[in-house]
Structure 1
C-alpha cells in the first residue's frame, strides 16, 4: 500500500492509473467532496480525512497544526452528544497523528473492548407462547378451552436479550470495519470482538435515526455513548465500494471548518446565558441581472447572540474562523484577514448591532485582541481564540468568560 500525505486545500497530481480509478469512483458516488481535472485531484475546501483507491492511500491532514485527530474527534463528540464526558477520550489516540481510517478503527476497537469487558446491556422483549406452565400474563383473546389440551394456554413471556438496536448498530460497524480491513492481525482482533455480539442482528433500519437510538438508549455501562458515536461515524461517514469481494475504494472525509463552527456554537449555547442560533437557510442580499439571466447572493452568519426575527436584529454576531492564530508572529496585523473584517462588519450592520467577534482555534492561551476600526468608535470588534490543547471544560469556560467580559458586557 502506497501512502500519500497532503494538507487540506491543496491539489494532488496523479498518474493515469490513479486518475482512471478516481474517475470511476466519482461515477459510483458523486456526493464525495472530490474533483479531478487534467490528472489533478482537488478536494472541497477544508476537507480532511482519508481516501483509499486501490493500493493508494491518500491522507489529507489539516493545515492548522492545532487540529489533530484527537482534537477533531473531541469536537465531533462534544457537538454530537448531549451528555459529553471530557474523559471519553482520556486514552487518546496516542502518538498516532495519521488521519487514515486505521487510526479511527483502531480507537473504535479499543473502546469496544472496554465496552465488552464492562458488560453489554440488553433489554426485555415480550413474545407470545403456549403451554401449561404459565410464566406471564394470559392472552385472553386466545383463550379457547378446546385447544388447551393440544397447545396449552396462550401467555406473554418476557425475555432478556442483547439483540437491541444499540448493539445492532455497534455490530454493524464492526462488520463494516472487518470488511474493509486487509491486515490479518487486525481482522483476527475484530473477529474475536464479534463473538461478543453473537445473537445480535445487524442493524437494518434507516441511518437517519441512529442518533435517536443512541440518545434514547440507557445503560449503566459508561462506554456506550462513545462506542455508539464511533459506530455511527463509521456507518454513515465511512463510504466504500466492493468489486469481486474486495474493496476497490473507501473514503472517510470530514469538513474541518464545519466541525469547528458547530463545536464553537454548542460551546456558547451551553456556556452563555443567551439564545445562540444560526439561520436554517441563508438570506438573500443581492440580485445580479444582465437582462437575460438572474443570479442571487445570500449570507448567513455563523453565530447570532439573542437574535430577534421580528426586528431581524441580534445583540452580537460571532464568526468561527478555521485559520492559524498566533500572536507571537512579528506582524500582528497578519492575524486578521481583510475579507474577514469586511464580512463581520457587514454582518453586524445587517443585524443592527455594534458588537462583533471572530473565534479562532489556537494552541495556546491568548488574551482577546481589540480591533479599532477608523471612523467607527461605537463598533466593538474583538478577536477571540480557544486553546484546543487545554482541558475541554477549562477552555470552554475561558472562551465564554472572555466573550462576556470583552463583548457582551458592552451591549446597550
Structure 2
C-alpha cells in the first residue's frame, strides 16, 4: 500500500517518517525534500523550495506550488521560458490540481495526437559493418579496423527511420512519465500504448543532453507534444535505486523557473525598444585594478543602449513577510547593482504580492528601488500583459532620467 505525503513548498513543519539512511540519502538527492532527525527517532520531512513529486518504493512525496501559482500557470511558465511563442493551449490546458497527473494527462493527449496519422520518419545517416555494399564504404575505418579483410565492410548509408530526435524525445518523456507517482492507471496505459507504437526508437539516457530538433512543416503535428516532452525531460531528477528499490522523480526549482520566465518575457517585451536586453550581465562593484580580489556580480537583467546600461532588474520568487515586507537583503543587492552600473533606479520583480508596485528612495543617494509584483495566479495572457506593463514602465523611467531614450 502506498504511503503518500503532500507538502506545500512554504511549509515549515512536516510529518515524521522512519526510513533507512540509504532511503533518506536517495530522496534528498532529488533536492525536493530534506529530512531532519528527531530526538525520539525518525526524520521530519520538509520541502526544499522546489515543487514536484518523488516515489521510492511504497513512499510517495509531493510538494505543491504555493497558492499563488496554479498547475496550469506553472506549466505555462515552464513552456514559455524555452519558447516565447508557447501558450497554454500547446499543452491542451488543464484544471487538475495535481502537477504530475495534469502533466501526464496532457502528455498522453498530445502524444496520441502526434502519432495519430503514423509515426514520423526521416532519413538518418547510419554507420555499420555489413557483408554487402550499401551506401558508401568508409575506406579509412575499413583499413584501420579490418586491415587485409574484405568483409565485413564499414559502410555509411541513409535510412528512412523512426529513430529521429522527435521520436527519441517523445518516447523518453512518455517512459519517464509512466513511472512517476500521481499518474493514474488509465493515463499510464495510454502512455504505454504510445511507447509501444514508438518501438525501435532509442530512449535518451538520464543526464544526456536532449537531441536537437527543428520545427518544420513535416513535423508540425509533433510540435505541442515535443514542447511538453522537453518540460518533462528537463525537470526529471535522479532516477536511481536505493538498494533494490527503484526511485523516480520530477522536480521543478520554482525560483529558477520564475527568474528564467521574467528574463525571457522582459527580453521579448523590450524587443520593440532600442537597444538589447541581457541576462546574467557581469559587472564589478569595486574599482579595477586593485590589489584585492574583485567583487564580481552577475546581474539578472540589464537593458543596454549603445552598450550603456539603462535598466537593471532582478527577479525574486519570494513571499512577503507577515508584516507585508520583502527581505531587506533584496534592497541591499539592488543598491549594489545600481551603484556599480551608475543607474538611478532599479527594479525588484516579485512573484505576486498583496499590494501594487511601490518605490523606495534610498537615503543619502539619488537611487530609487521599485518593488513590482507579478500576479501568477491569473491566466497566461494576463501574466504576459503584466510583463508588458512593467516593460513600458521601465522604458518610460529610463527615458525620464535624461540619460538615454530607449523608446522607438
How many pairs are equivalent? 369
Name the SS for the 2:19 alignment partner.
helix
Match of 1:251 in 2: 249
TM-score (norm 2): 0.74
Deviation digits for residues 31-64 of structure 1 (CA, Å, limit 9, x no counterpart): 63544331233443x311112233222221233x
Q: Give unpaired runs (5+ residues) of structure 2.
A: 38-42, 140-154, 287-291, 404-408
Quote the residue 1:162 is aligned against.
162
Shift, 1:166, TM fit: 1.5
Provide the rounded CA distance (Å) in 1 between the counterparts of 2:269 and 2:185: 46
- Does residue 379 of the first structure (1) align with residue 381 of the second (2)? no
SS for the counterpart of 2:167 is: helix
Deviations 1:9-39 (A, max 9, x none): 434555453364632415xx84635443312
User: Where does 1:122-201 land on structure 2 (aligned, <5 Å)?
Assistant: 122-125=121-124, 159-180=159-180, 184-201=185-202
| Structure 1 segment 215-364 matched on structure 2, within 5 A | 216-238=214-236, 239-242=238-241, 247=246, 249-272=247-270, 273=273, 274-279=275-280, 299-306=297-304, 314-324=309-319, 334-362=324-352
Is the Cα contact below 8 Å between 1:358 and 1:384 reproduced in 2?
yes
Instruction: Indicate if the aligned counterparts of 2:311 and 2:394 stay in contact, CA closer than 8 A.
Output: no
| Partner-residue secondary structure (3-state), 2:94 | coil
Q: Which residue of 2 aligns with 1:57?
A: 60
Closer, same or farther: CA 246–381 of 1 in aligned 2, 3 Å:
closer
Contact 2:92 2:106 in 1 (8 A): no
Report the counterpart of residue 69 of structure 1 in structure 2: 71
3-state SS of 1:371 partner = strand
What is the deviation of 1:267? 1.2
Are the aligned partners of 1:50 and 1:57 in contact in 2 as well (CA < 8 Å)? yes
Select the residue among 45, 50, 53 that pairs with 1:41: 45
**SS of the residue 1:92 aligns to:** coil
Decide whether the 8 Å contact of 2:57 with 2:245 is kept in 1: no
Task: Report deviation, 1:303.
Answer: 1.5
Alpha-carbon distance, 1:357 to partner: 1.0
Distance, in Å, in 2 between the alignment partners of 1:25 and 1:337 is 33
Specify the SS of the correspondent of 1:226: helix
Cα deviation per residue 1:326-362 (whole Å; 9 max; x = unaligned)? 9xxxx9x824443322321222112221121111233
